[in-house]
Amino acid sequence: MKTLDDLFKHQIKDLFSAETQLISALPFIADNVNNKKLTKVFEDQLIESKKQKSRLETICREINVSPSGKNSYAVKEIIKDIKKLTKKAANHEVLDVGIIAKVQRIEHYEIAGYGTAIRFAKELGHTEIADKLQETLREVYDVDNILNEIAEDRINRKAIENLT
Residue 70 vs residue 44, higher pLDDT: 44
**CATH number, domain with residue 34:** 1.20.1260.10
The pLDDT of residue 152: 85
Q: Count up the domains in the chain and report the number.
A: 1
The chain-wide mean pLDDT, for the chain, equals 93
- 72 burial type by CB count under 10 A (0-12 exposed, 13-18 middle, 19+ buried): buried
The pLDDT of residue 151: 86
CB-CB contact of 96 with 38 (8 Å):
yes
Q: Using one digit for the tens of pLDDT, what is the confidence trace for 108-147?
A: 999 999 999 999 999 999 999 999 999 999 999 999 999 9
The pLDDT of residue 90: 84
The domain in which residue 11 lies consists of 4-161
Please check the confidence at residue 155 and state whether its pLDDT lies above 70: no
Cβ atoms within 10 Å of 65's Cβ, excluding its own: 19
How far is the C-alpha of 58 from the C-alpha of 63, rounded, in Å?
9
The pTM of the full predicted model, rounded to 2 decimals, is 0.91
The pLDDT of residue 154: 65
CA angle (130 as vertex; 12, 45 as ends), nearest 5: 65
Q: Using one digit for the tens of pLDDT, what is the confidence trace for 41-63?
A: 999 999 999 999 999 999 999 99
